[in-house]
Amino acid sequence: MNVTSAVKQRYSEGANEVQDELCCPVDYDRDLLKLLPQEIIDKDYGCGDPSRYVREGDVVLDLGSGGGKICYMAAQLVGTQGRVIGVDMNDDMLALASKYQSEMAGKLGGDRVVFHKGYIQDLALDVAAMEDWLADNPVTDAASLEHLHHWQAEQRRERPLIADNSVDLVISNCVLNLVDDRHKAQLIREIHRVLKPGGRVAISDIVSDEEVPAHLKADTELWSGCISGAFQEEAFLDAFRQAGFLGVAFDRWDSTPWKVIEGIEFRSVTLTAVKGVDSPCLDYGHAVMYRGPYAAVTDDEDHVFPRGARMAVCERTWRFLTESGVYGSDFIGFAPATPREPVNFCAPPGTRRSAAETRSGKVAGGDNDCCC
Ligand SMILES: C[S@@+](CC[C@H](N)C(=O)[O-])C[C@H]1O[C@@H](n2cnc3c(N)ncnc32)[C@H](O)[C@@H]1O
């Protein structure tokens, strides 16, 4: 059996009967759980709580939404202007989540959650629409297979399940590890595609502290149990960086492993990251200063910021470092003292900006002024 079939079978069982060995203890927000049906709370196969990253008004996409728990929690946080989309490939899980949709819409005061059948590594493909099409156009030979591929390409292009640049926040709870290794890079590219510029990611998942050996990966019971398909911890961050995300971090990292197998620790983490905005890199003369305490830091675009130095950055990077919230108050931003015609490229990495160029410009992220 391949890993996808094993995962489908395991989570069909999980939708029908609680599977204790798939449950990883999670400290969810009790207030958000109060509204949820007990069956959905019981059939929880998550390992973290990405709902805590949801903001009012967000369009949220939950990858591998299972019984719908995180979607229904997120729906309480997005408010009347936001909405939540759950995607899962498993019919039994989709049936469980949908069973409570009208009850939850009543409790929420609006139907702001939708569940779609799809593969999270191929978020443009509408699997329910494809199944309808296949009922009338069964694949029986090479020609009909080619016809299907043609239909899929057109559907992805003309009527994508999840459109480009359409989501504010992608969340997921214990699912990425279940995706076949051959599709993991494509999965992360898909997350990047569907996010709006400036959109955020919060992925709770299991990681391993060293590379999982082939004989464990070949064990479909361990794979479908959210263990042997886990990313190695550093590779998990690197994969998001490679796909173009910025500010990639472990926002949460459980010190106690969930499982230890052949000495390898498997633990729950939550990865956060941001999709950069697509505005051009224009140099108006801005600078940022890294406060410390480290001697220097490097961001995901390979800018190096020595502690205490006014470093030249384009306006886009200036906003990201000082306004996006990703870096807290690590950077102080200096707008140019005298705005100048923008130059359409970044100053070479390592370029400093003199105090005279930035003095008396607007300061972002400074502390309160003090007069003695
Ligand atoms: C461990 S459960 C987690 C469910 C849910 N996120 C929760 O917190 O309870 C994994 C879910 O991901 C779904 N899943 C796994 N691989 C998938 C894929 N490639 N595409 C879509 N859904 C997938 C499974 O069907 C299952 O519902």
pLDDT tops 90 at residue 367: no
The helix/strand/coil state of 131 is helix
Domain boundary among 275, 295, 327: 275
Place of tokens 């009850």: 103
297 and 218 part of one domain: no
Angle between helices 91-99 and 3-16 (to 10 degrees): 30
Ligand 1 atom nearest residue 70's Cα: 8
Ligand 1 atom nearest residue 47's Cα: 8
Of the candidates 242, 236, 256, 233, the one whose C-alpha atom is nearest the C-alpha of residue 192 is 242
- How far CA 88 is from CA of 68, 345, 371, in Å, comes to 10, 42, 58
Q: What are phi and psi of 199, to 5 degrees?
A: -70, 160
Q: What are phi and psi of 26, to 5 degrees?
A: -135, 140
255 and 201 part of one domain: yes
Of the candidates 204, 307, 310, the one whose C-alpha atom is nearest the C-alpha of residue 251 is 204
Ligand 1 contact via 270 beta carbon (within 6 Å): no
How many angstroms does the Cα of residue 143 sit away from the middle of ligand 1?
33
Range of the domain at 203: 3-124+160-275
184 and 271 part of one domain: yes
| H/E segment holding residue 298 | strand 296-298
Q: Mean pLDDT for the chain?
A: 94
How many angstroms does the Cα of residue 152 sit away from the middle of ligand 1?
23
59 and 175 part of one domain: yes
194 and 86 part of one domain: yes
Q: Express each pLDDT in 231-283 by its tens digit.
A: 999 999 999 999 999 999 999 999 999 999 999 999 999 999 999 998 888 89
pLDDT at 307: 98
Q: Express each pLDDT in 165-203 by its tens digit.
A: 999 999 999 999 999 999 999 999 999 999 999 999 999
Ligand 1 contact via 3 beta carbon (within 6 Å): no
Please state, in angstroms and rounded to a whole number, the distance separating the CA atoms of residues 36 and 104: 8
More confident residue, 12 or 361: 12
* CATH number reported for the structural domain that contains residue 75 in this entry: 3.40.50.150
221 and 355 part of one domain: no
170 and 309 part of one domain: no
User: How many CB atoms neighbour CB 53 within 10 A?
Assistant: 21
* 170 assigned to some structural domain: yes
Ligand 1 contact via 226 beta carbon (within 6 Å): yes
| Number of domains into which the chain is organized | 2
How many angstroms does the Cα of residue 176 sit away from the middle of ligand 1?
8
Of the CA atoms within 13 Å of residue 169, those in its CB half-sphere come to 26
98 and 180 part of one domain: yes
**Single pTM value for the model:** 0.94
- Give the burial class of 204: count Cβ atoms within 10 A of its Cβ; 0-12 exposed, 13-18 middle, 19 or more buried: buried
* 182 assigned to some structural domain: yes
How many angstroms does the Cα of residue 90 sit away from the middle of ligand 1?
8
Ligand 1 contact via 7 beta carbon (within 6 Å): yes
218 and 330 part of one domain: no
Which two structure tokens, joined as six digits, stand for 11?
């989570």
Ligand 1 contact via 66 beta carbon (within 6 Å): yes
Please state, in angstroms and rounded to a whole number, the distance separating the CA atoms of residues 160 and 157: 6
Ligand 1 contact via 90 beta carbon (within 6 Å): yes
Q: Please state whether the peptide bond connecting residue 293 to the residue before it is cis, i.e. omega within 30 degrees of 0.
A: yes
Ligand 1 contact via 223 beta carbon (within 6 Å): no
pLDDT tops 60 at residue 59: yes
74 and 200 part of one domain: yes
DSSP state of 139: -
268 and 297 part of one domain: no
Which two structure tokens, joined as six digits, stand for 204?
């709770």
* 188 assigned to some structural domain: yes
pLDDT at 23: 66
Q: Which of 3, 5, 10, 11 to mutate to test the pocket of ligand 1 (most atoms within 8 A of CB)?
A: 11
297 and 254 part of one domain: no
* Calculated CA dihedral for residues 28, 33, 36, 42, nearest 10 degrees: 40
Q: Express each pLDDT in 136-164 by its tens digit.
A: 999 999 999 999 999 999 999 999 999 99
Ligand 1 contact via 117 beta carbon (within 6 Å): no
Ligand 1 contact via 116 beta carbon (within 6 Å): no
How many angstroms does the Cα of residue 358 sit away from the middle of ligand 1?
51
Q: Express each pLDDT in 84-135 by its tens digit.
A: 999 999 999 999 999 999 999 999 999 999 999 999 999 999 999 999 999 9
